[in-house]
């Protein structure tokens, strides 16, 4: 590792820590500062000296009163947030210098790198140009409850990052440097005096507005800048840039549309979110048009444009004033709809083409009269935004659980006195649904709504379909069916849209997420394609969603990963057989156990042929802020997606050897059995989870609008994948990411033939290599000692829980040993020194938070409702998440 490359990062961390110390002295006093320093130094000692006494750190914390515990937790939490700002800024710094960040080995592969690799492999220019032209990356922003930082603090953190960028300028004199440092100190002071904890749970509309803010503040600028950089890289290689309407990246959202298990997302909420998105889009385009009005003052224009304006010495402004007026009207109309007020009359913009027409005419005119350089400026940015964002800002997906649709169909068949749909066989259901989809008559009349069969739950499903009918196609994306099991699940949603009178039906996307459903995905889709009506309906393309969260919760990390791979292989072959294009929608989360991994590694580990120029991926929770919250970082990550999708399409990984497949079957059989022997069969696991981890306390944190459980019971089965991962992450046991995998690796390495095979797989198969790299990364964040702290403080008198804790820590230790034996590296992340440094430098700051959290959990369970203790506990949860750069 080039140590000098990271010297600026170390200096930034030190400066921010010093400024926080100044604020701490000023606001909490010297005594508090000294207390924090003693704890920090004791924590450093326990990490740097194996002989240092952990009880000495405990002794510093135990006598502190509740108010002091809160301030100490806030100090360490704030430092970790400042460290994150410094590290994120350092990534931006190195990207600007076109240097690879050593903490991201193999991930900084932009389009230029990929084009070089394609040239080395003699990929024909025609094939490259065609793939680029049709490339489609759709990022789906979701509001899964993992973002623990308040928006008001995120804004302050962004301002701090801006100041760090300014302080990098070599031309600053001492006064200018001091001025910026003083501003930085004041921002840190403002952050210190701001409540870190969101006190009210956000509504689905709040979540949607948060997503809109990410577009407004970052992606609105990043998208055209990314395209400019891609154009430049293509031109540098003598290639013709793609056509003007090229939009390789588009955006969709689940915020306000994902109603699976979230009773707070209603038809009315979805309608409001769609209107708010239209309002925001109109407002953003209005800002662009105001800038164009100021700039396009020239008089030379084409005959086409002059025919539209008549005689005018400023013809472009004539057109732009009309555009501005319609955008203002559009914004007013959307505002009225949100407020339930009378909607102003007039022609607001109803489609992308309506807004595109005058702007494209201006572009043609400027190029016609020799002002192409002007057209290449802000106008081109606006046109490219219009290609990406449309007039709806993003496309809203609808997601609902499959039984809600079958319940609605069952209510209809009972109302029609046809019997219970639930009692029918799958064949009977398919026949009924197919017949009704092709029938010309209405299925039900208005009286159904007043019948006993139309329960509130059924009415809500119908109301949602009515919103789809109202809104038109531009603002809507996919209708995703979670827990899809059978062909009838897909046909039912198609029929419900027909009943509502939807003229442009949303594409229906089954989500296969459990192990059984992934294994049965090919059979389900094959049965659907066997229906002539359905095959005709999807002739232009089919989308299928692969679930990562629930499959990992069901089968463990390795078993789920292999099931996902096999399902994609089978589906790719099936749709190739039918000559129908397939888009795979990857429901990834931020954590390793929920499919999170670097972009390039994730795409290049997919089965060959499964990407084929098209990819759809969820971006969840805090990942959205880390990857897209700042324009410079967003440009880099967007380019990563374009480059990796191109590479995976034209240079797909090799097909796995039959021996590798056989080995994976053996590995995953052992892994799934080991995982389920604990998760399903260990009688004390639920008690351990609720006693030793903050799983129960997480419900106090106002993270998102969706309940933590699908059903209100204490079992693991009803617990959502996100809090399941979040709880284990907080105590550094990381159980969902490795449980079962250690036994699988141990068994394989014990057999000489299997041992040679898995070593070959690590070196030659991107899929397996990626799984091993991700396992190593998550195990580097695991900590046996920290997990033992929680057990000792919270379950010390319970022999059954202590026994289970010892078993789990033993399995973790064995997993680390097996991984080390496989990779040949004595220490985790020996191949990733900066990430290892990042984790180790944070440990002395996260350790006190872990000890504090265990102490606070114990006190709060005895003094339920204590506001100070509750606040302090929430701060530790947020602080540990910041320290690990990981939640759920």
Residues marked active site are found at 144, 553
Closest to 137 measured CA to CA, from 584, 510, 504: 584
CB atoms within 10 A of CB 296: 23
DSSP element (H, E) containing 542? strand 542-547
Closest to 356 measured CA to CA, from 321, 316, 331, 323: 323
Burial of 282 (0-12, 13-18, 19+ CB in 10 A): buried
Burial of 103 (0-12, 13-18, 19+ CB in 10 A): buried
Phi then psi dihedrals of residue 215, to 5 deg: -70, -50
- DSSP assigned state of 508: E
Closest to 714 measured CA to CA, from 700, 729, 696, 728: 696
Closest to 82 measured CA to CA, from 222, 233, 198, 184: 184
SS3 610: coil
Distance CA 424, CA 744 (A): 42
Cα separation values, 498 from 473, 506, 567, 725, 755, Å = 14, 11, 30, 39, 56
* Side-chain half-sphere exposure of 440, counting CA atoms within 13 A: 0
Q: Which two tokens stand for residue 666?
A: 């053996």
Is residue 430 within 8 Å of residue 491, measured between CB atoms?
yes
Positive or negative, the Cα torsion across 6, 9, 11, 13? negative
Q: What is the secondary structure of 47-98 as a DSSP string?
A: HH-TTS-HHHHHHHHTT--HHHHHHHHHHHHHHHHHHHHHHHHHHHHHHHTT
* Sole residue written with tokens 């001492």: 174
Q: What is the secondary structure of 96-132 as a DSSP string?
A: HTT---TTSTTT---HHHHHHHHHHTT--HHHHHHHH
Cα separation values, 281 from 136, 268, 278, 287, 394, Å = 22, 20, 5, 10, 9
């Amino acid at each position: 590792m080039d140590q000098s490359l990271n010297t600026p990062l170390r200096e930034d961390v030190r400066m921010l820590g010093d400024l926080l110390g100044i604020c701490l002295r000023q606001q909490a006093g010297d005594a508090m500062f000294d207390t924090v320093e003693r704890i920090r130094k004791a924590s450093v000692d326990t990490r740097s000296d194996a002989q240092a006494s952990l009880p000495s750190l405990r002794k510093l914390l135990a006598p502190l009163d509740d108010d002091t515990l809160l301030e100490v937790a806030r100090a360490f939490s704030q430092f970790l947030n400042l460290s994150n700002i410094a590290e994120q800024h350092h990534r931006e710094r190195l990207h600007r210098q076109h240097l690879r960040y050593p903490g991201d080995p193999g991930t900084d592969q932009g389009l230029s790198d990929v084009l070089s690799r394609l040239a080395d492999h003699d990929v024909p220019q025609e094939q490259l140009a065609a793939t680029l032209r049709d490339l489609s990356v759709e990022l789906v922003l979701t509001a899964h409850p993992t973002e623990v930082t308040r928006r008001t603090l995120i804004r302050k953190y962004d301002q701090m990052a801006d100041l760090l960028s300014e302080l990098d300028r070599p031309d600053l004199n001492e006064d200018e440097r001091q001025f910026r440092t003083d501003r930085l100190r004041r921002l840190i002071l403002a952050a210190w005096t701001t409540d870190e904890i969101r006190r009210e749970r956000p509504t689905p509309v709040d979540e949607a507005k948060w997503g809109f803010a990410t577009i407004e503040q970052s992606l609105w600028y990043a998208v055209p800048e990314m395209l400019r950089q891609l154009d430049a890289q293509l031109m540098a290689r003598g290639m013709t840039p793609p056509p003007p309407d090229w939009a390789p990246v588009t955006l969709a959202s689940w915020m306000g549309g994902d109603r699976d298990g979230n009773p707070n997302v209603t038809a009315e909420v979805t309608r409001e979110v769609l209107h708010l998105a239209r309002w925001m889009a109109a407002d953003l385009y209005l800002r662009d048009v105001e800038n164009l009005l100021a700039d396009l003052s020239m008089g030379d224009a084409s005959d086409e444009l002059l025919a539209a304006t008549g005689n005018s010495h400023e013809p472009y402004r004539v057109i732009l004033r009309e555009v501005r007026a319609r955008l203002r009207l559009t914004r007013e109309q959307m505002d009225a709809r949100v407020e339930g007020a009378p909607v102003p009359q007039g022609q607001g913009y109803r489609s992308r083409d309506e807004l595109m027409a005058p702007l494209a005419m201006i572009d043609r005119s400027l190029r016609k009269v020799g002002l192409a350089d002007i057209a290449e400026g802000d106008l081109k940015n606006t046109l490219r935004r219009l290609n990406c964002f449309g007039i709806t800002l993003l496309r809203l997906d609808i997601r609902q659980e499959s039984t809600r649709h079958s319940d609605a169909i069952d209510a209809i068949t009972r109302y029609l006195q046809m019997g219970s749909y639930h009692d029918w066989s799958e064949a009977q259901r398919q026949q009924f649904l197919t017949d009704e989809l092709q029938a010309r008559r209405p299925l039900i009349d208005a009286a159904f709504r007043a019948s006993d069969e139309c329960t509130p739950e059924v009415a809500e499903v119908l109301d949602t379909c009515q919103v789809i009918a109202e809104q038109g196609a531009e603002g809507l994306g996919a209708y995703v069916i979670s827990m899809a099991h059978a062909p009838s699940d897909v046909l039912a949603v198609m029929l419900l849209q027909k009943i509502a009178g939807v003229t442009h039906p949303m594409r229906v996307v089954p989500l296969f997420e459990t192990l059984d459903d992934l294994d049965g995905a090919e059979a389900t889709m094959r049965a659907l394609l066997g229906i002539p009506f359905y095959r005709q309906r999807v002739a232009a393309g089919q989308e299928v969603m692969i679930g990562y969260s629930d499959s990992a919760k069901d089968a463990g990390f390795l078993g789920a990963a292999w099931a996902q791979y096999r399902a994609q292989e089978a589906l790719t072959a099936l749709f190739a057989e039918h000559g129908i294009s397939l888009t795979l929608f990857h429901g990834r989360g931020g954590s390793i156990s929920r499919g999170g991994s670097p972009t390039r590694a994730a795409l290049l580990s997919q089965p060959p042929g499964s990407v084929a120029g098209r990819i759809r991926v969820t971006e969840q929770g805090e990942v959205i802020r880390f990857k897209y919250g700042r324009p410079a970082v967003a440009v880099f990550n967007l380019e990563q997606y374009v480059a990796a999708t191109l590479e995976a399409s034209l240079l797909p990984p090799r097909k796995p050897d039959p021996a590798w497949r056989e080995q994976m079957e053996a590995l995953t059989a052992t892994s799934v059995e080991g995982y389920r022997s604990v998760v399903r069969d260990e009688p004390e696991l639920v008690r351990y989870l609720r006693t030793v981890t903050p799983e129960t306390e997480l419900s106090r944190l106002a993270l998102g609008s969706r309940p933590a459980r699908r059903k209100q019971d204490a079992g693991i089965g009803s617990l959502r994948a996100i809090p399941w991962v979040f709880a284990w992450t907080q105590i550094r046991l990381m159980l969902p990411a490795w449980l079962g995998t250690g036994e699988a690796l141990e068994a394989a390495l014990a057999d000489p033939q299997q041992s040679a095979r898995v070593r070959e797989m690590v070196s030659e198969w991107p899929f397996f290599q990626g799984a091993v790299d991700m396992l190593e990364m998550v195990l580097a964040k695991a900590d046996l000692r920290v997990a033992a702290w929680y057990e000792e403080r919270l379950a010390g008198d319970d022999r059954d829980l202590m026994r289970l804790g010892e078993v789990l820590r033993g399995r973790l230790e064995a997993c680390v040993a097996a991984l080390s034996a496989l990779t040949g590296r004595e220490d985790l992340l020996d191949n990733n020194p900066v990430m290892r440094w990042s984790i180790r430098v944070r440990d002395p700051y996260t350790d006190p938070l872990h000890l504090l959290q265990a102490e606070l959990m114990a006190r709060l369970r005895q003094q339920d409702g204590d506001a100070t203790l509750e606040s302090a506990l929430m701060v530790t949860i947020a602080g540990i998440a910041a320290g690990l750069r990981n939640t759920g």
